[in-house]
Amino acid sequence: MDASELAELRTMYIFGPAEGSTWGLTYEVLERKLRERDADAFVRIDEGGPIRGSVMHFGITVGEEVLEGMAKLSPDGIAIEDCTALAAAEVVRWLRGSIVPAGTSITFTTEWGLEADMPEELVPDVPRPRLVATFFAHLEATGLD
């Protein structure tokens, strides 16, 4: 696939801390940071399930688009549904600036990566074009091209 075709692909991107570390994620901090981006951001904590408050559902504005996301505290991580590689790069920029403690790594995979039994990858700390290229390479490696 060429870059323009890869740029159109949408899947769920899943971000978390590197194995053995944590972001110290809390729903309160996540909600505050989401509302700093958009005062009217959609936020709902799912009280169902075995652990009270086990999943936070939210909307995040990326460019002109509102994407739906989910967050968990144990293990801590964030997933963005129906997301392009370009939007995922913007989410990473926001995570690094607002959610993830300085010096802490971010890993990622996608729904397609999970289906292909691919391991999580470290998100490189590189300029946006190289980060998008990393996401494109991941999409191609899933075999869905």
Give, in degrees to the nearest 5, the angle at Cα 38 between 102 and 77. 40
Say yes or no to pLDDT of 53 above 60: no
* Residue 97 neighbours by CB under 8 Å, 6+ apart: none
pLDDT of residue 50: 55
Tens of pLDDT, residue by residue over 58-85, are 999 998 899 999 999 888 999 999 999 9
DSSP class per residue in 17-40 = EPTT------HHHHHHHHHHH-TT
Lowest mean pLDDT among 47-51, 103-107, 136-140: 47-51
Angle (deg, nearest 10), helices 128-141 and 85-94: 130
Task: Give kind and range of the element (H or E) at residue 108.
Answer: strand 106-110
Long-range interactions of 33-36: CB distance < 8 A, separation 24+: 33/94, 33/98, 33/99, 34/58, 34/59, 34/60, 36/98
**Between 143 and 85, residue with greater pLDDT:** 85
Using the structure block, give the residue that is written with the tokens 């739906």. Answer: 68
Read off the pLDDT band of 8 (50, 70, 90). very high
Residue-range domain boundaries for the chain: 3-141
Q: Confidence band (pLDDT; 50, 70, 90) for 13? A: very high
Chain-centre distance for alpha carbon 38: 17
What tokens were used for 144?
């869905």
Q: Is-above-0.75 flag for pTM?
A: yes
Residue 135 binned pLDDT confidence (cut-offs 50, 70, 90): very high
* Helix (H) / strand (E) containing 86: helix 85-94
